[in-house]
């Protein structure tokens, strides 16, 4: 291996390590880290260690370090273990990011990482008992090693990609479809980079690819922290403002008819007082699920946000008021269905008011006030004695 390429490879990995260290330091100093953030830290550390191990292997291949059976074995065992860690933690991270409840339990996360643990133990045993199976006479790695090396990482990548793609196609996930598709496609791109580098070692494509993708994931994660409501995983009020401004800019001077829907839970204070705030949070999550499900099954292109407390907003692009009425009916049905499925001991219903909105920023507050007025008329009518 030529000296110029060796040092270019080393320099590239060092730059990538510095970028990962910057992300790591920021995450380590964040307050109140959630499980998803902890997993992201694990992914970051695994990448850094992998790049270091990979640099050592390049130095060995270039004869800057002793190229012996022992050095080749140790470094490549390390590479295999760390690649399993990267892909295993990535799988767990994606499942958490996409709201899968089973993976929130520590036992489920451990079970998800078992294939990587099995490969790690198996690799150590085989290297110890059958070293010639993986290292040839020139102390280079054999085809058998590379097959075992990629087996579990490919499994994690394929399962993660397929599950993300399936979730992206679900109607209730229409609002986050783009993010899910990114999670499905990006691991495949990384694999292509890795294979390309293995077959044509003329550029450190794997470290570049990993760094670009993890930077993207990191930026999305930061964006979620400021634009996504932590409890319901819906857009928050900040993101609502961005949406209004963005839609106004996109439509230019044209008037595009929309409807603003205001949704408010009935007797939510009673639920909090009678059953506690933890149960109140569950009711809000259930409401968010009902809104996503109803909008996902409806042909309207809708934007959903939690406005505050037990109030939610939907902005639907349509000129047909009947479609809006159908969406209101669907929301109420889905909310009743979700609440019944949960087995809760209380009634969970919502009042909904809506108003036309032309898409002009100056008209937004006026349209919102009309929708709010319609909501409270429905609430008052509901509270009238029969």
- DSSP line for 84-118: HHHHHHHHHHHHHHTT-GGGGSHHHHHHHTHHHHH
Between CA 63 and CA 60 the distance in angstroms is 5
| Per-residue pLDDT tens over the stretch 91-115 | 999 898 887 889 989 999 999 999 9
pLDDT at residue 326, rounded to an integer = 92
pLDDT at residue 121, rounded to an integer = 93
pLDDT at residue 193, rounded to an integer = 74
pLDDT at residue 78, rounded to an integer = 94
If one compares 200 and 261, the residue with the highest pLDDT of the two is 261
Question: What sign for the dihedral angle of Cα 366, 320, 297, 345?
Answer: positive
CATH code: domain 3-227 is 1.20.1070.10
- Lowest mean pLDDT, pick from 122-126, 150-154, 175-179: 175-179
Residue 342 has pLDDT above 80, yes or no: yes
pTM of the model: 0.75
- Indicate the SS3 state at residue 198: helix
Residue 187 has pLDDT above 70, yes or no: yes
pLDDT at residue 333, rounded to an integer = 93
Between CA 332 and CA 375 the distance in angstroms is 14
Burial class of residue 305 in the structure, from the number of CB atoms within 10 Å of its CB (0-12 exposed, 13-18 middle, 19+ buried): buried
Give the residue among 356, 352, 347 at the shortest CA–CA distance from 377. 352
- Lowest mean pLDDT, pick from 102-116, 162-176, 327-341: 162-176
pLDDT at residue 287, rounded to an integer = 94
Residue 190 has pLDDT above 70, yes or no: yes
CB atoms within 10 A of CB 118: 12
Residue 279 has pLDDT above 80, yes or no: yes
208: which 2 tokens?
């570049």
What distance lies between CA 314 and its chain's CA centroid? Answer: 23
Between CA 259 and CA 356 the distance in angstroms is 5
Judge contact between 39 and 92, C-beta under 8 A: yes
Question: Strand pairing partners for 316?
Answer: 259, 302
Between CA 281 and CA 233 the distance in angstroms is 12
Q: Which fold has domain 237-383?
A: Alpha-Beta Plaits (3.30.70)
Mean pLDDT of 268-292: 91
**Range among 60-64, 199-203, 263-267 with highest mean pLDDT value:** 263-267
Residue 31 has pLDDT above 60, yes or no: no
- 348-383 burial, b for 16+ CB within 10 Å, e for fewer? bebbbbbbebbbbeebbeebbebbbebbeebeeeee
Residue 170 has pLDDT above 90, yes or no: no
What distance lies between CA 50 and its chain's CA centroid? Answer: 23
Mean pLDDT of 369-377: 91
Mean pLDDT of 241-265: 82
Mean pLDDT of 120-143: 89
Question: What sign for the dihedral angle of Cα 263, 266, 270, 275?
Answer: negative
Judge contact between 167 and 96, C-beta under 8 A: no
Residue 260 has pLDDT above 80, yes or no: yes
If one compares 351 and 362, the residue with the highest pLDDT of the two is 351
pLDDT at residue 172, rounded to an integer = 61
Start-end of CATH 1.20.1070.10 domains in the chain: 3-227
Alpha helical stretches, state H, 266-312: 268-275, 277-297
If one compares 317 and 113, the residue with the highest pLDDT of the two is 113
What are phi and psi for residue 377, nearest 5 degrees?
-65, -40
pLDDT tier, 315 (very low <50, low <70, confident <90, very high otherwise): very high
- Indicate the SS3 state at residue 316: strand
If one compares 194 and 243, the residue with the highest pLDDT of the two is 243
Residue 133's contacts (CB-CB under 8 Å, 6 or more residues apart) are 126, 142, 144, 145
- Lowest mean pLDDT, pick from 83-87, 267-271, 317-321: 317-321
217 vs 22, 45, 116, 371, CA distance in Å? 14, 15, 23, 37
pLDDT at residue 55, rounded to an integer = 92
- For the chain, the average pLDDT equals 86
Residue 239 has pLDDT above 70, yes or no: yes
140: which 2 tokens?
């280079």
pLDDT tier, 46 (very low <50, low <70, confident <90, very high otherwise): very high
Mean pLDDT of 336-345: 89
Mean pLDDT of 35-45: 89
Start-end of CATH 3.30.70.270 domains in the chain: 237-383
- 156-175 burial, b for 16+ CB within 10 Å, e for fewer? bbebbbebbeebbeeebbbb
Residue 179 has pLDDT above 80, yes or no: no
111: which 2 tokens?
């079970």
Separate counts of helices (H) and strands (E) for the chain: 13, 4
pLDDT at residue 91, rounded to an integer = 93
């Amino acid at each position: 291996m030529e000296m110029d390429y060796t040092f270019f490879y080393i320099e590239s990995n060092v730059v990538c390590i510095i970028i990962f260290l910057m992300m790591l330091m920021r995450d380590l100093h964040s307050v109140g880290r959630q499980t998803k953030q902890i997993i992201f830290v694990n992914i970051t550390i695994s990448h850094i260690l992998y790049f270091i191990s990979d640099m050592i292997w390049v130095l060995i291949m270039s004869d800057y370090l002793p190229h012996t059976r022992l050095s080749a074995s140790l470094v490549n065992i390390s590479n295999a273990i760390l690649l399993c860690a990267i892909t295993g933690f990535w799988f767990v991270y994606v499942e958490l990011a996409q709201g899968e409840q089973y993976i929130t339990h520590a036992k489920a996360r451990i079970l998800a990482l078992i294939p990587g643990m099995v490969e790690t133990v198996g690799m150590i045993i085989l290297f110890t008992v059958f070293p010639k199976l993986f290292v040839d006479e020139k102390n280079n790695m054999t085809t058998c090693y590379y097959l075992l090396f990629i087996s579990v990482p490919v499994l994690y990548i394929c399962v993660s990609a397929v599950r993300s793609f399936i979730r992206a196609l679900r109607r209730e996930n229409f609002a986050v479809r783009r993010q899910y598709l990114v999670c499905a496609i990006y691991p495949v791109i990384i694999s292509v980079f890795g294979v390309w580098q293995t077959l044509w070692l003329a550029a450190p494509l794997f470290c570049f690819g990993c760094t670009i993708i993890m930077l993207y994931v990191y930026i999305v994660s930061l964006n979620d922290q400021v634009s996504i409501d932590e409890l319901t995983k819906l857009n928050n009020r900040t993101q609502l403002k961005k949406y209004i401004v963005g839609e106004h800019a996109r439509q230019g001077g044209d008037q595009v008819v929309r409807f603003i829907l205001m949704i408010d839970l009935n007797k939510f204070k009673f639920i909090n007082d009678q059953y506690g705030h933890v149960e109140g949070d569950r009711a809000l999550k259930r409401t968010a699920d009902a809104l996503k499900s109803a909008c996902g099954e409806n042909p309207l292109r809708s934007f959903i946000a939690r406005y505050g407390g037990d109030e939610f907003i939907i902005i639907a692009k349509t000129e047909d008021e009947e479609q809006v009425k159908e969406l209101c009916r669907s929301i109420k049905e889905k909310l009743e269905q979700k609440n019944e499925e949960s087995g809760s001991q209380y009634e969970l219903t919502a009042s909904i008011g809506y108003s036309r909105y032309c898409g002009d920023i100056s008209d937004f507050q006026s349209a919102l006030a009309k929708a709010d007025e319609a909501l409270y008329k429905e609430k008052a009518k509901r509270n009238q004695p029969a």
